[in-house]
Structure 1
Amino acid sequence: MKWADVAGNTIRYEFRPGSGIPAAGTPAAGEPVVFIHEMGGSLNSWDRLLSRAEITRPVLRYDTRGCGMSEKLRDVPTMDELADDLVQLLELVGIQGPVTLAGCATGSAVALTCAARHPQSVSAVVAMSPVTEVAVARRLTLLDVGDRMERHGLRSIVDASLATSYAPALVDDQEVFNEFRARWLANDPTSFAYQYRMLADLDIRGAFDQVACPVLVMSGRHDPLRPPALSKGVASKLARASYVELDTGHFMHVQAPAQVARTLNEFLNTV
């Protein structure tokens, strides 16, 4: 793991070169894939997916500002800032040319915003359970959750939160779930609360018209936070999007890594 100073914030990241030999004629066979984790996650959120043998391309993953072991937030970030962080990190790491961005939940929002703001840097986007906007009716609830976690800590809400996003029926490996829960609890409560305040006002749909690259929208059939209808709606508003449903939940990269790896590779080999 390494750290970089990005826009005045310390960001932890990891870059690993590609492994294996791509199929002959595969477009952009050596093009890196950048993985952007969900809100409250970290670069370790991708451990299970990246252990799959199907993932052979170069990979950059990182803790977005305020998350994991990156510098913690002291104000509400914006999607534009998070997207610009990514482009600056690519420059600092020395990655030349366009990359594929793969994000989950709010990580998908970062990826789509980056594709809109920096089209020369993004060749394709994979949006898993994309959180691109929040209903007005949910705004006060999200602000209240942020306030509660800041006052009482994450342990006061962790089980209620994961009961929805990581239901027992989706736990195929108890140790994997325990690690996911532990990482979630290890978040800084104040920094995480600022992320919830960002989420309460989130709406990037105005940027959809500027996303020119191919996009794969992946939805989980058992995702109550972003049901398939919402993800399918996102795909319908993007000019070059395709849509697929998987038999999984909100954190599909953790809950169903084999399905996600296979679907991701099929998409990358066609764009």
Structure 2
Amino acid sequence: MQLNIDGIDTRYVLSNEGGGPWLTFIHQLGGDLSIWDQMAGYFRDDYTVLRYDVRGHGATAVMDADFSVADLAHDLASLLDALGVTHTHLVGISMGGMIAQQFALDYPQRVDTLTLADTSAGTPPEGRALWDQRAAAARSDGLAALAPATIGRWLTPDFQQAHPEVVEPIREVLLQTSPQGYARACEALRDFDVRDRLAALHMPTLTVAGRHDTGTPPAATAAIAEAIKGARYELLDAAHLAPIEQSQRFAAMLETFLQTPV
């Protein structure tokens, strides 16, 4: 399904078997909504599950202008408005986790619970150059040049060997990502920093990290939990895409979290 959101053609998918509360999933840099296919199947009987492609990713267009993570959070707010959604449970992984943090800060009344996987609350000064390098590489050489190292960060070697049926679709989505969309998103993430604002968040929060995540070390995700009062922190035996590599454990953990009374 497509909607024009603030001038951007945006793809979204609703999985709604039971007509339950809204549950929104946001994907990673270089991904699309398909990363959450399994989770949507798991939760659709009890929730109205929304997945969408972030601007410049998947089938969502990228505008010829720079954008910020705050702009990406506004995109989500506009999508929810268009669908008539006043509030939702929110789950984000990696870049999606950054968008979710920004959304929770900008629209706190619209977030029932917040789940953040394999993400950070800001790029330290020494990390900014890496985002610039990735943006430049995407523009000059395309995503194929970045794919081997990216998949190596996202999933452990053991998982890659055991589950090619999972890995190959993820790789294909990465390869098909718009180089310009990817590059502009890198620059948005480079400038993202809400570390000094997290204490303002008061919704129930679950944070999840992968023990073998080299791209976003578990300490970065743990620091988010430490900054948000009452937040939970869980560590899974996985790399960067922990909800994919440990999908059953993540789904069970999320289900329990969503059902816990506030």
Q: Is 1:112 matched with 2:101?
A: yes
| Residue matched to 1:260 | 250
| Residue matched to 1:25 | none
| Residue matched to 2:186 | 196
| Residue matched to 1:24 | none
| Residue matched to 1:49 | 39
SS of 2:42's partner is: coil
Listed as ranges, the matches of 1:41-80 within 5 Å are 41-52=31-42, 56-80=46-70
| Residue matched to 1:16 | 15
Displacement of 1:164 after TM fit? Answer: 2.2
| Residue matched to 1:181 | 171
Please say if residues 155 and 240 of structure 2, whose CA atoms lie closer than 8 Å, have aligned partners that are also in contact.
yes
| Residue matched to 1:218 | 208
Q: CA RMSD in A?
A: 1.8
Unaligned runs of 5+ in 2: none
Change (3 A) 1:15 1:184: same
User: Given residue 269 of structure 1, which amino acid in structure 2 is its aligned partner?
Assistant: Q
User: Given residue 7 of structure 1, which amino acid in structure 2 is its aligned partner?
Assistant: D
% same residue: 27
Change (3 A) 1:170 1:132: farther
Q: Is 1:227 matched with 2:226?
A: no
1:75-131 deviation digits (Å, cap 9, x = unpaired): 222121111111111111122x42110000111111111111111111110001123
SS of 2:208's partner is: strand
Give the TM-score normalised by the residue count of structure 2: 0.93
User: Given residue 168 of structure 1, which amino acid in structure 2 is its aligned partner?
Assistant: P
| Residue matched to 1:167 | 156
Please say if residues 49 and 258 of structure 1, whose CA atoms lie closer than 8 Å, have aligned partners that are also in contact.
no
| Residue matched to 2:5 | 6
| Residue matched to 2:131 | 142
SS of 1:59's partner is: strand
Change (3 A) 1:81 1:53: closer
Displacement of 1:219 after TM fit? Answer: 1.1
Please say if residues 21 and 48 of structure 2, whose CA atoms lie closer than 8 Å, have aligned partners that are also in contact.
yes
Displacement of 1:135 after TM fit? Answer: 2.2
Please say if residues 21 and 46 of structure 2, whose CA atoms lie closer than 8 Å, have aligned partners that are also in contact.
no
| Residue matched to 1:128 | 117
Displacement of 1:176 after TM fit? Answer: 1.0
SS of 2:196's partner is: helix
Please say if residues 15 and 60 of structure 1, whose CA atoms lie closer than 8 Å, have aligned partners that are also in contact.
yes
SS of 1:262's partner is: helix
SS of 2:197's partner is: helix
User: Given residue 201 of structure 1, which amino acid in structure 2 is its aligned partner?
Assistant: D
1:247-268 deviation digits (Å, cap 9, x = unpaired): 2221122222111100000100
Distance in 2 (alpha carbons) for counterparts of 1:63 and 1:218: 22
Distance in 2 (alpha carbons) for counterparts of 1:203 and 1:231: 13
Please say if residues 219 and 245 of structure 1, whose CA atoms lie closer than 8 Å, have aligned partners that are also in contact.
yes
Distance in 2 (alpha carbons) for counterparts of 1:54 and 1:15: 9
Unaligned runs of 5+ in 1: 20-28
Distance in 2 (alpha carbons) for counterparts of 1:78 and 1:255: 29
SS of 1:206's partner is: coil
Distance in 2 (alpha carbons) for counterparts of 1:262 and 1:54: 14
